[in-house]
Amino acid sequence: MTALLLVALTGPLVAALVNLAVGWRTAGAMATVLSAIGVLTSGVALAIRTGSEPAILFSGLLRVDALSATMLIVIGTVGTLATWASIGYIDHELSHGLTDAKGARLYGTLTPAFLAAMVLAVSANNIGVVWVAIEATTVITAFLVGHRQTRTALEATWKYVIVCSVGIAIAFLGTVLLYFAALHAGAPAEQALNFDVLAGYASRLDPGVARLAGGLLLIGYGAKVGLIPFHTWLADAHSQAPAPVSALMSGVLLSVAFSVLIRVKPIIDVAVGPAYLRTGLLVVGLATLAVAALMLTVTPDLKRMLAYSSMENMGLIAIALAAGTRAAIAALLLHVLAHGIGKTVLFLAGGQLQAAHGSTEIAAITGVLGRSRVIGYSFAAGSIVLLGLPPFAMFASELAIARSLSDAGLGWALAGAMLMIAIAFAALLRNTGRMLFGDPAAGTPQIAVPTTVATALVTGIAAALLLGVTAGPLAGLLRAAATNVSGLL
């Protein structure tokens, strides 16, 4: 297991060094793709080998369990699609003067470094190391959001940095308080932030301190997830970042940050009772769903529409975690993977629409199905995934989340969530229909699709379909992850 985890951690770092050394070359780009495939392969291998008990490695700093294996699969899947598409995306930008050799080198270096930071965040057994890894993703992606160095991109970058830095500072304070509570409960100082040690001492944590720590961690990491009240960065950053980076941020980074809350919740629940974080998650989850649904009805921008859709899905996942049952956690993890693949397809297709039109205004994009089969069918398939329709896996995950909420006695929350989802569904369907159908206006530009982008899109659709019709092999892994997480409840 150690070797597999090291492959996932070091592969992207090696790729980053290769890109730093040689600049934007085929060798560096392929090294990045291979490193993402390495993360996916390691995740699958670890999922097969992991047992019911987590494996603690490197003196307690890292852990391998079903949850970390699941998240590695998500990172590897989205990462492989996004980095493969990046080859054609950056080559197009270079050929059209939208970036230069320095910008391409920076992109090639930071993208695999971003992957490495996310791998560390989901593999760390120490919540302090998790904090460092999540902070590293903020620093790295800040430069990627501002890739084009336009005024709008730089404004989005500063907003992203400021809001997420406030959030991560709040999470740091929560981490310090959790460490203080663990020390006073008798945990050894050098291991007091390890998840396995915190779990063992959870019943002895001071309830008042644990309550404050849990609230701060929910707010702090919730900022990185895009939950209320620190959600304002998400639409700006996603709309300005390069399309493959938007795919990585929306498809996996939000979920990586949320995985911290998944690990923390059982510890706080044992210390102060399950009602505390359940209430907090329900409040922020429903509020996030409401804001996202309402913004989807009025946004005129394609990439902002996809960003608000991510908010909607993160709100639903927060509500599922509030239920806290094994069935709810397994369902939300399936939702995370299905959403990651579908959203990646949409952002990659949207990136090509932006390149063709020089704009992401929905009103300027019409008749896509008749102008490009690859982009038209890819965007249609991604939209079907996002709308939660069969045969794709989000249909099953949303049904499972609904059943879990009902079984947990949260019918009122389910009713509110379903209302917001219905509003979001109608808005997404309306906007998607406007872009896909109709006759294009005179002088509408051609939609060019680089080979690597087309390959990533087709592969993404195939992966989404495969997950939807044969999710059975993942059932055992998701149940094991849910058991690992909810074992203290």
In contact, 203 and 185? CB cutoff 8 Å: no
Distance of alpha carbon 280 from alpha carbon 285, whole angstroms: 8
Peptide bond before 391: cis, by omega within 30 degrees of 0?
yes
In contact, 319 and 281? CB cutoff 8 Å: yes
User: Does residue 442 come out as left (phi exceeding 0), alpha (psi in the -120 to 50 range) or beta?
Assistant: beta
Distance of alpha carbon 434 from alpha carbon 443, whole angstroms: 18
Distance of alpha carbon 448 from alpha carbon 348, whole angstroms: 13
Closest of 14, 35, 15 to residue 25, by C-alpha: 15
- 475/422: higher pLDDT: 422
pLDDT at 464 over 60: yes
Residues 6+ positions from 341 with CB-CB distance below 8 Å: 77, 78, 81, 251, 385, 460, 463, 464, 467
Per-residue pLDDT band at 52 (split at 50, 70, 90): low
Using a cut of 0.75, tell me whether the model's pTM lies above it. Answer: yes
Per-residue pLDDT band at 51 (split at 50, 70, 90): low
Closest of 279, 363, 352 to residue 321, by C-alpha: 279
pLDDT of 489: 43
User: Does residue 203 come out as left (phi exceeding 0), alpha (psi in the -120 to 50 range) or beta?
Assistant: alpha
pLDDT of 118: 97
pLDDT at 291 over 80: yes
The CA R_g of the chain, rounded to the nearest whole Å, is 21
Distance of alpha carbon 232 from alpha carbon 311, whole angstroms: 10
Question: What is the average per-residue pLDDT within 73-79?
Answer: 97
Per-residue pLDDT band at 201 (split at 50, 70, 90): very high
In contact, 165 and 128? CB cutoff 8 Å: no
pLDDT per residue as tens digits for the range 413-430: 999 999 999 999 999 999
pLDDT per residue as tens digits for the range 348-375: 999 999 988 888 899 889 899 988 999 9
pLDDT per residue as tens digits for the range 370-391: 889 999 999 999 999 999 998 8
Distance of alpha carbon 93 from alpha carbon 85, whole angstroms: 13
**How many separate domains does the chain show?**
1
Query: Which structural domain range is residue 93 located in?
Result: 2-486
pLDDT of 308: 95
Q: Which of 236-250, 418-432, 435-449 has the lowest mean pLDDT?
A: 435-449
pLDDT of 486: 66
Cβ neighbours of 436 (radius 10 Å): 19
pLDDT of 149: 82
Residues 6+ positions from 452 with CB-CB distance below 8 Å: 84, 85, 86, 87, 88
pLDDT at 488 over 80: no
pLDDT at 242 over 90: yes
- Strand runs (DSSP E) across 328-400, as ranges? none
Largest Cα–Cα distance of the chain, in whole Å? 73
pLDDT of 444: 80
